[in-house]
């Protein structure tokens, strides 16, 4: 069966090389006589898998030695609660920047633990831009500042790093982590659900500065305490072993792409090709300010919405799937994560051109 070009926002496309390697190792991981899914997480085989995955991630992101890397469960959504539970206790306050649906969910959860100051929002223009820091109304007593550096639904991306001084900057990077180099030292905590650029859904990676660990209040459940997880090397309980294994294969694949500098060039070329079509005018339009457009999630609209269903139907016939926009905003969305090949984006823009010739 021929594979389609899958533009899903997540769970998302994985590198074919990774899938092929996982298939080859499914029944027998490197002479162990068993699948990774069958391994004890306390055995030397899996210990080597998780250790290498962490080492490769540290290398890719140049993670400083005073940061812990945690492989946890619950996806990014559980971090919406873990972060305030672990970090807000110092002042009982936190700043959040509201840039769309995922920031909104993070804000709602944080309000369960303390006072949330929405220091800035782009709601006035349907979350089509990133508020500049000069417009933020920050609380100097905030325990941390939270940003969503790429909004999967709205297609906006921070292409700059806020300067929050001595207040830790916390970032949800779920939908663009590993798409380009970042300076980890500018952040107090970074978290990312795996199902976009890392691996299977369910795994979340947390990169947290050591001085922010150990702040959870008494009574915090062990599974929600960063110190417990860090002290036990992400294995206080059974971790999502197969997801960690696939993530490790993805990290190795990224190294073969010349690392994050190499994958960034690839991603900019893909996004540029698609945005060029949207900027020509005619049938298609982008709702996002050019300076804040995501390289990973590209929402767009047909100027005649009556053609939406026809567009999706014909796209599927052309093996281009998962292009329907999120139900909260409508329209179309092409998620072009690291593993989406240039051939997929070319196939999409060719289809868009042909569709416009027939229906525009």
| Helices 241-256, 44-61: crossing angle, 10 deg rounding | 40
Task: Provide the sign of the torsion angle of the four alpha carbons 127, 132, 137, 139, taken in this order.
Answer: positive
Rounded CA separation 2/6 (Å): 12
Among this protein's residues, is 253 annotated catalytic?
A: no
Rounded CA separation 36/39 (Å): 5
Which of the residues 68, 93, 104, 196 is marked catalytic?
A: 196
Which of the residues 56, 95, 172, 292 is marked catalytic?
A: 172
Q: Name 302's bridge partners.
A: 284
Nearest residue to 340 via CA among 267, 261, 231: 267
Question: Which two tokens mark 235?
Answer: 């294995």
Environment class of 220 (CB within 10 Å of its CB; exposed 0-12, middle 13-18, buried 19+): middle
Among this protein's residues, is 196 annotated catalytic?
A: yes
Which of the residues 29, 56, 95, 102 is marked catalytic?
A: 102
> In the chain, at which residue ranges do the beta strands (DSSP E only) sit?
5-6, 67-73, 93-98, 115-121, 145-148, 150-151, 156-157, 169-172, 189-193, 203-209, 284-285, 297-302, 320-321, 332-335
Instruction: Please provide the DSSP assignment of 66-116 as one string.
Output: TEEEEEEESHHHHHHHHHHHHHGGGTSEEEEEE-SHHHHHHHHHHTTTSEE
H/E stretch holding 338 reads none
The SS3 call for residue 212 is helix
Report the greatest alpha carbon distance in the chain. Answer: 65
Rounded CA separation 324/331 (Å): 7
Q: Are 336 and 320 in contact (CB under 8 A)?
A: no
| Catalytic residue set | 102, 172, 196
């Amino acid at each position: 069966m021929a594979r389609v070009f899958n533009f899903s926002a997540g769970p998302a496309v994985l590198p074919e090389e990774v899938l092929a390697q996982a298939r080859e190792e499914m029944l027998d991981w490197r002479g162990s006589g068993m699948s990774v899914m069958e391994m004890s997480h306390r055995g030397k085989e899996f210990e080597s898998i998780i250790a290498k995955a962490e080492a490769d991630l540290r290398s890719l992101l140049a993670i400083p030695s005073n940061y812990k890397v945690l492989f946890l469960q619950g996806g990014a959504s559980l971090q919406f609660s873990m972060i305030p539970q672990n970090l807000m206790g110092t002042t009982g306050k936190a700043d959040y920047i509201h840039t769309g649906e995922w920031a909104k969910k993070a804000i709602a959860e944080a309000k369960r633990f303390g006072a949330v100051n929405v220091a800035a929002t782009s709601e006035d223009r349907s979350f089509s831009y990133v508020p500049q820091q000069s417009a933020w109304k920050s609380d100097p007593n905030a325990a941390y500042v939270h940003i969503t550096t790429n909004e999967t639904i709205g297609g906006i991306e921070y292409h700059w790093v806020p300067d929050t001084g001595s207040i830790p900057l916390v970032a949800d990077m779920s939908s663009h982590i590993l798409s380009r180099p970042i300076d980890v030292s500018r952040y107090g905590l970074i978290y990312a659900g795996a199902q976009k650029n890392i691996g299977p859904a369910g795994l979340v990676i947390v990169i947290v500065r050591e001085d922010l660990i150990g702040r959870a209040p008494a009574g915090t459940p062990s599974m929600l305490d960063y110190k417990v997880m860090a002290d036990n090397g992400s294995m206080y309980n059974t971790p999502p072993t197969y997801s960690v294994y696939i993530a490790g294969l993805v990290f190795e694949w990224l190294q073969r792409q010349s690392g994050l500098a190499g994958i960034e060039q690839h991603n900019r070329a893909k996004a540029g090709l698609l945005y060029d079509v949207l900027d020509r005018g005619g049938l298609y339009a982008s709702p996002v300010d050019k300076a804040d457009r995501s390289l990973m999630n590209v929402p767009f609209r047909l100027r005649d919405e009556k053609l939406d269903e026809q567009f999706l139907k014909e796209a599927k016939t052309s093996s281009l799937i998962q292009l329907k926009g999120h139900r909260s905003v409508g329209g179309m969305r092409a998620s072009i994560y690291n593993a989406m090949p240039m051939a997929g984006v070319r196939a999409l823009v060719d289809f868009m051109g042909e569709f416009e010739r027939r229906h525009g």
